[in-house]
C-alpha cells in the first residue's frame, strides 16, 4: 500500500497562525482522503532528525506553560516593536539627525535583545529538550513512501533527514505556492529572499515532482527549473497543480463578530472589502489612491481592509493612521477572526484585490464561493481563477478601479461578463482529494516508465 506522508511541520509548531499557506495546510490535512483504494495518507512532522505521525494539529490541553504559543506571541511582539521603531525613525528629530537615529536604534536593539531575543532563545532551548507531546508518535518510513512537502519548508531544518529518506527509497514531492521571492524580491524581506533561493536550489536537486497551486505557477516553476538545472534534468521530473478550497475552517457559528465591523455593515452605503496581510505586494497604496479618486468624485462607498500588519509597510500604515476618511469611509481590522471575516464576506458589496503578483489569490475564491463578486488586478493567475466571472482593473491606472467602484455604486450591477451564480469551485475536501490523486497518478506513471539518471 502506498503511503503519502504529508508534511505539516510549521503549522504543527504554530497552530494559531492563519495566513494563506497555514490555512491551506490545515485544511488539506483535515480533509485528507481516508485509508483505502491501495493508499494511506498520513500527516507528519519532521524535527530532531526524526519523522513523526501527527495525531492532532490542534494543541492538546496542557496544564503547564504553552511554550509554543508564548514564543509566537513574543515573535509578534518583536515584529510590532520594530515596526514602531521604523515609524518613529521617520519622524523628528530622528529623521534630521544621523546620531539621533543611531542612538534610537542602539536603545531599541538593547531593549529587544533583553526583553524579546533572550526569552525566545530560552524557549527554543526548552522546546528542544521538552519531550515530544502526545499529539505526535514516531513513524518508521518505508522505501515506497511518498513524502509530500506541503508546508512552508524553506525555513525548515529537516533537509538532511529528507535527503536520508530519499536515499532509503522515499520519493519526494514539493508543493509550491509561488516564486515571489525569486521573481519579485522587492516585495520581500531580504532574509527571506536568500533563504527561499537556497531552498529552491535544494528542492530543484532533491524533489521528484512539483505540485503548484495554479497552472500559472506550475509553468513558472518549470521555467525556473530549466534556468537553474537545464532542460535535460527537468525532463526527469514531473510538474502539476491543484486548486484550493474555500471554507473558513476556523469560523465558529457561535463565535462573536467584531462589534465595530458589525456596525460598519449596518449602514446603507456600499462596502468594498480587501482581505490580505498588509505588505507591499498586496498593493494597498493603489487601493487608497483609487478610493480617494472615487471619494473626490462624490462616492459614498466605504473601504474595509481586513488583514494583519506585515512588512515594509511603515509608510502605508502611517498614511492610513493620518487619513481623513479613517473611521468614516476607511476602516481597518488587523485581528479579525474567521467568524468576523465570514460576516464581512456575506455582507460586503464586492471584494477588491489589487495585488501585483499572487500564487493563487485565496480571498477571491473565499468571496466568490459566498456570492460576493470580486474585482481583481488584471494579472494572469486571477484570469485563470476568475475567468469571465470577475471584473478586472489596470494596475497602472487607479482610475480604472475608481470607475468600477462608482459604476457599481450607481447602477447596482457588477460589471462581469458572466453572472456569479453560474460559478462553482472546489471544497477543501475536493481540493485535498485532487492533490492526492494527481500525486498518485504521477507516481504510477513513474513506476511504469522508470527514469534513468
Give residue-wise pLDDT tens across range 340-378.
999 999 999 999 999 999 999 989 999 999 999 999 999
Instruction: Look up the pTM and report it.
Output: 0.79
Q: Are 141 and 170 in contact (CB under 8 A)?
A: yes
Q: Which residue reads 504543527 in cell numbers?
A: 12
Q: Which of 84, 4, 59, 32 is nearest to 439 (CA)?
A: 4
State whether residue 302 is helix, strand or coil. Answer: strand
Give residue-wise pLDDT tens across range 161-192.
999 999 999 999 999 999 999 999 999 888 88
Domain 2-59+133-245+429-448 shares a fold with domain 259-425: yes
Verify cis geometry, omega within 30 degrees of 0, for the bond prior to 246.
no
Judged against a pLDDT cut of 70, whether residue 65 lies above it is answered with no
Count of all residues that appear for the chain in the document? 453
Q: Where are the domains of the chain?
A: 2-59+133-245+429-448, 67-129, 259-425
Judged against a pLDDT cut of 60, whether residue 62 lies above it is answered with no
Residue, of 7 and 189, whose pLDDT is higher: 7
Pairwise CA distance, residues 171 & 4, whole Å: 10
Q: For 70-93, b where at least 16 C-beta lie within 10 A, e where not — what string?
A: ebbebeeebeeebbebbeeeeeee
Give residue-wise pLDDT tens across range 127-145.
666 655 578 899 999 999 9
Verify cis geometry, omega within 30 degrees of 0, for the bond prior to 93.
yes
Q: Are 54 and 12 in contact (CB under 8 A)?
A: yes
**Residue 450 CA to chain centroid, in angstroms?**
35
The CATH number fitting domain 2-59+133-245+429-448, selected from 3.40.50, 1.10.15, 1.20.1070, 2.30.30:
3.40.50
Pairwise CA distance, residues 408 & 374, whole Å: 12
Percent above pLDDT 90 for the chain:
63
Fold of 259-425: Rossmann fold (3.40.50)
Beta-bridge mates of residue 137 = 53
Residue-level pLDDT at 276: 93
Amino acid at each position: 500500500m502506498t503511503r503519502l506522508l504529508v508534511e505539516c511541520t510549521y503549522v504543527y509548531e504554530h497552530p494559531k497562525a492563519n495566513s494563506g499557506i497555514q490555512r491551506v495546510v490545515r485544511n488539506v490535512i483535515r480533509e485528507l482522503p481516508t485509508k483505502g483504494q491501495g493508499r494511506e495518507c498520513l500527516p507528519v512532522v519532521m524535527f530532531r532528525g526524526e519523522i513523526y505521525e501527527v495525531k492532532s494539529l490542534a494543541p492538546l490541553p496542557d496544564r503547564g506553560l504553552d511554550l509554543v504559543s508564548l514564543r509566537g506571541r513574543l515573535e509578534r511582539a518583536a515584529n510590532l516593536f520594530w515596526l514602531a521603531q521604523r515609524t518613529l525613525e521617520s519622524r523628528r528629530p530622528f529623521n534630521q539627525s544621523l546620531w539621533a537615529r543611531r542612538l534610537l536604534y542602539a536603545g531599541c536593539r538593547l531593549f529587544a535583545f533583553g526583553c524579546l531575543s533572550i526569552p525566545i532563545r530560552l524557549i527554543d532551548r526548552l522546546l528542544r529538550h521538552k519531550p515530544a507531546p502526545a499529539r505526535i508518535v514516531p513513524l518508521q518510513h518505508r522505501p515506497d513512501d511518498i513524502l509530500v512537502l506541503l508546508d512552508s519548508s524553506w525555513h525548515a531544518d529537516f533537509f538532511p533527514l529528507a535527503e536520508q529518506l530519499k536515499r532509503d527509497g522515499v520519493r519526494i514531492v514539493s508543493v509550491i505556492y509561488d516564486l515571489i521571492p525569486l521573481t519579485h524580491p522587492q516585495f520581500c524581506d531580504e532574509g527571506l529572499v536568500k533563504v527561499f533561493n537556497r531552498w529552491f536550489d535544494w528542492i530543484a536537486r532533491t524533489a521528484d515532482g512539483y505540485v503548484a497551486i495554479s497552472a500559472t505557477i506550475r509553468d513558472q516553476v518549470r521555467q525556473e527549473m530549466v534556468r537553474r538545472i537545464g532542460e535535460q534534468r527537468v525532463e526527469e521530473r514531473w510538474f502539476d497543480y491543484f486548486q484550493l478550497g474555500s471554507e473558513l475552517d476556523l469560523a465558529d457559528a457561535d463565535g462573536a463578530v467584531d462589534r465595530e465591523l458589525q456596525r460598519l455593515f449596518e449602514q446603507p452605503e456600499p462596502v468594498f472589502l480587501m482581505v490580505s496581510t498588509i505588505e507591499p505586494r498586496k498593493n494597498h497604496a493603489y487601493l487608497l489612491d483609487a478610493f480617494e479618486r472615487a471619494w473626490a468624485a462624490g462616492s459614498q462607498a466605504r473601504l474595509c481592509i481586513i488583514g494583519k500588519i506585515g512588512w515594509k509597510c511603515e509608510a502605508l500604515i502611517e498614511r492610513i493612521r493620518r487619513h481623513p476618511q479613517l473611521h468614516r469611509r476607511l476602516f481597518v481590522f488587523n485581528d479579525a477572526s474567521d467568524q468576523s471575516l465570514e460576516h464581512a464576506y456575506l455582507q460586503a458589496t464586492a471584494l477588491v484585490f489589487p495585488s501585483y503578483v499572487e500564487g493563487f489569490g485565496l480571498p477571491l475564491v473565499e468571496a466568490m464561493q459566498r456570492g460576493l463578486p470580486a474585482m481583481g488586478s488584471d494579472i494572469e493567475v486571477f484570469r485563470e481563477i476568475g475567468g469571465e466571472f470577475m471584473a478586472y482593473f489596470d494596475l497602472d491606472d487607479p482610475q480604472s478601479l475608481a470607475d468600477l467602484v462608482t459604476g457599481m455604486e450607481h447602477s447596482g450591477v457588477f460589471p462581469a461578463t458572466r453572472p456569479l451564480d453560474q460559478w462553482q469551485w472546489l471544497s477543501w475536501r475536493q481540493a485535498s482529494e485532487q492533490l492526492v490523486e494527481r500525486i498518485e497518478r504521477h507516481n504510477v506513471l513513474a513506476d511504469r516508465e522508470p527514469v534513468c539518471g
